[in-house]
C-alpha cells in the first residue's frame, strides 16, 4: 500500500524531504504547498507533483492525505500541525518543534485527541555514524557509560542557505542544540539537570552562536554538549557530530573523518562508518541527506504500524524543555533541575 502525503513548506531543507519521499517505498507526495506560489510551483515541477497550493487548509480538505510533512520554520508549526491532525493525518513536524513549551504541549494534546502519531523530524539520531555509535554502545563493548562528549563545532556559512538564523534571538540551542540534546537522550538516556554557558561570537547576529552544556543523565552519566558556528577548523568538520563516550571497560570515539574508534585493553581499533552519498546528494551534506532518507523510511514504518515514532512529539517535549532550561541556566548561572523546571511551569 502506498501512503498519500502532502508537504507544507517548499524552502531550503524541504528539497531533502522531497528526495527522501521519492526514495521511500510505500509513500508518495501527491501535493505541495507554500505561501510563496513560485516556490511551490518550482518544487512541484522538479519532483513531478500533480497538485500545488498556497493554502494548507485548502490542500488538506481537497487531498485528504494519509500523512502531512510540515517543513516550515517554527512560527507556523503549531497551527499547521493542529490543522493536519484535525484532518486525521499522521503528522511529521520539522524541528524546532515549537518556540514555547505550551505550543509543543498543545500539539502533543492535539495528536492524542486525534489518535494519530506526531513525529518530530529529528534526523541526527538517524545519521549512520551516530547509529553505529549507539549500536556499539548497546553491544556493551565499553561497559556501562560514565562520561560523554558530543561536539558540533564548525565555521560553515549556514547563513547563506538559512538567513533567518542570523536574525533569531534563540539560535544555537534551538537549532543544532535540540538535535544534540535529542542525540544525548538517544545515546545515554533522559536528563536530570543541565548547566549551560552561551556565547554570541559572529558580529551582527541576534542570538547565541555557541554554547557548552553539561548534562547529568538519570543513570548518572555526565555529558558535555558543545556547539559553535564560529570555529576556525581545517578541514571543517561540518556537518559531523563528533563524539567521545567513556565506559567502565573502554572508550568509543567518532572522529571528523567518519571513523568509529574503540579504545580498549591498550588497543585502538577503528572502522569507517561514513554513509554513501545519495544519488541526488553531495558533500558535505551527504550524512544529513542519508539521515533524511532513513528517517522518512521510518515514517513509512510508523504508517504501516511496524514502528513507534522516533522521536514522538511527546518525547520531544522534554528535549525542547532542555533547550529552554539551558537558556535559563545561561541567564541565571544556576544548574536547572529539569523535572522541577517543567513541573513549576517555568518553561
Ligand X SMILES: NC(=O)c1ccc[n+]([C@@H]2O[C@H](COP(=O)([O-])OP(=O)(O)OC[C@H]3O[C@@H](n4cnc5c(N)ncnc54)[C@H](O)[C@@H]3O)[C@@H](O)[C@H]2O)c1
Identity of the residue, 38 or 248, whose beta carbon is nearer to ligand X in the bound complex: 38
Using CB under 6 A, which of 3, 39, 154, 185 touches ligand X?
39
Residue linked to cell 515541477: 45
Identity of the residue, 11 or 278, whose beta carbon is nearer to ligand X in the bound complex: 11
Identity of the residue, 34 or 193, whose beta carbon is nearer to ligand X in the bound complex: 34
Q: Which of 229, 232, 243, 157 is nearest to 200 (CA)?
A: 229
- d(CA 169, CA 331) in angstroms, rounded, equals 14
Identity of the residue, 12 or 147, whose beta carbon is nearer to ligand X in the bound complex: 12
User: Least distance (Å) from ligand X to the CB of residue 62?
Assistant: 15
The length of the chain in residues reads: 347
CA dist list (Å): 146 to 216, 259, 296, 336: 10, 22, 32, 21
| φ/ψ of residue 339, rounded to 5 | -65, -40
User: Least distance (Å) from ligand X to the CB of residue 164?
Assistant: 6
Pairing of strands 118-121, 90-94: parallel
Strand order in the sheet with 210-217: 267-272, 259-264, 251-254, 242-247, 145-153, 222-228, 210-217, 191-199, 336-337
User: Least distance (Å) from ligand X to the CB of residue 248?
Assistant: 33
Total Cβ atoms within 10 A of residue 103:
18
35 belongs to the binding site for ligand X (CB under 6 A): yes
Q: For residues 212-241, which are near ligand X according to CB under 6 A? A: none
74 belongs to the binding site for ligand X (CB under 6 A): yes
Using CB under 6 A, which of 123, 151, 223, 240 touches ligand X?
123
Which three three-digit cell numbers place residue 137? Answer: 554502545
Which three three-digit cell numbers place residue 11? Answer: 524552502
285 belongs to the binding site for ligand X (CB under 6 A): no
Using CB under 6 A, which of 18, 31, 44, 56 touches ligand X?
56
125 belongs to the binding site for ligand X (CB under 6 A): no
161: part of which helix (H) or strand (E)?
helix 158-161
Question: Which segment (10-18, 264-272, 313-321, 330-338) binds ligand X by CB under 6 A?
Answer: 10-18
- d(CA 62, CA 262) in angstroms, rounded, equals 54
88 belongs to the binding site for ligand X (CB under 6 A): no
Identity of the residue, 162 or 335, whose beta carbon is nearer to ligand X in the bound complex: 162
- Check: CB of residue 226 under 8 Å from CB of residue 153: yes
User: Least distance (Å) from ligand X to the CB of residue 73?
Assistant: 4
Identity of the residue, 72 or 316, whose beta carbon is nearer to ligand X in the bound complex: 72
13 belongs to the binding site for ligand X (CB under 6 A): yes
User: Least distance (Å) from ligand X to the CB of residue 220?
Assistant: 30
Using CB under 6 A, which of 94, 183, 240, 329 touches ligand X?
94
Binding mask 159-178 for ligand X (x = CB under 6 A): ---x----------------
Using CB under 6 A, which of 7, 14, 24, 205 touches ligand X?
14
- d(CA 162, CA 307) in angstroms, rounded, equals 32
- Check: CB of residue 101 under 8 Å from CB of residue 313: no
Instruction: Name the DSSP class of 206.
Output: S
Question: Which segment (32-40, 100-108, 229-237, 243-251) binds ligand X by CB under 6 A?
Answer: 32-40
Query: Nearest-CB residue to ligand X?
Result: 11
- d(CA 33, CA 76) in angstroms, rounded, equals 13
- d(CA 84, CA 114) in angstroms, rounded, equals 10
Using CB under 6 A, which of 22, 41, 73, 277 touches ligand X?
73
Write out the residues near ligand X by the rule CB under 6 A. 8-14, 33-36, 39, 56, 71-74, 76, 80, 94-95, 121, 123, 162, 288
Amino acid at each position: 500500500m502506498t501512503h498519500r502525503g502532502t508537504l507544507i513548506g517548499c524552502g531550503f531543507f524541504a528539497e531533502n524531504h522531497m528526495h527522501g519521499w521519492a526514495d521511500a517505498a510505500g509513500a508518495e507526495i501527491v501535493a505541495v504547498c507554500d505561501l510563496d506560489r513560485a516556490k511551490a510551483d518550482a518544487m512541484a515541477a522538479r519532483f513531478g507533483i500533480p497538485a500545488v497550493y498556497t493554502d494548507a487548509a485548502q490542500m488538506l480538505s481537497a487531498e485528504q492525505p494519509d500523512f502531512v510533512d510540515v517543513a516550515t520554520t517554527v512560527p507556523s508549526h503549531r497551527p499547521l500541525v493542529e490543522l493536519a491532525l484535525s484532518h486525521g493525518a499522521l503528522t511529521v513536524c520539522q524541528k524546532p518543534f515549537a518556540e514555547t513549551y505550551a505550543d509543543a504541549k498543545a500539539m502533543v494534546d492535539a495528536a492524542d485527541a486525534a489518535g494519530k502519531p506526531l513525529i518530530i523530524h529529528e534526523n541526527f539520531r538517524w545519521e549512520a555514524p551516530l547509529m553505529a555509535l549507539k549500536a556499539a554502545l548497546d553491544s556493551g563493548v565499553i561497559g556501562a557509560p560514565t562520561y560523554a562528549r558530543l561536539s558540533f563545532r564548525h565555521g560553515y556559512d549556514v547563513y547563506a542557505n538559512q538567513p533567518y538564523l542570523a536574525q533569531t534571538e534563540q539560535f544555537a540551542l534551538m537549532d543544532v542544540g535540540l538535535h544534540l540534546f535529542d542525540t544525548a537522550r538517544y545515546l545515554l538516556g533522559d536528563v536530570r539537570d543541565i548547566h549551560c554557558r552561551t556565547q554570541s561570537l559572529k558580529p551582527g547576529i541576534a542570538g547565541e552562536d555557541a554554547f557548552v552544556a553539561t548534562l547529568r543523565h538519570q543513570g548518572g552519566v555526565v555529558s558535555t554538549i558543545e556547539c559553535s558556528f564560529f570555529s576556525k577548523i581545517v578541514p571543517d568538520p561540518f556537518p559531523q557530530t563528533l563524539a567521545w563516550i567513556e565506559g567502565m571497560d573502554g572508550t568509543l570515539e567518532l572522529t571528523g573523518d567518519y571513523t568509529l574508534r574503540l579504545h580498549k585493553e591498550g588497543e585502538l581499533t577503528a572502522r569507517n562508518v561514513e554513509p554513501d552519498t545519495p544519488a541526488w546528494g553531495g558533500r558535505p551534506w551527504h550524512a544529513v541527506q542519508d539521515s533524511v532518507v532513513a528517517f522518512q523510511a521510518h515514517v513509512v514504518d510508523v504508517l504501516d504500524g511496524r514502528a513507534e515514532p522516533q522521536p514522538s512529539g511527546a518525547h520531544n517535549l522534554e528535549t525542547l524543555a532542555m533547550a529552554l532550561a539551558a537558556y535559563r541556566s545561561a541567564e541565571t548561572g544556576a544548574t536547572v533541575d529539569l523535572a522541577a523546571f517543567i513541573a513549576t511551569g517555568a518553561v
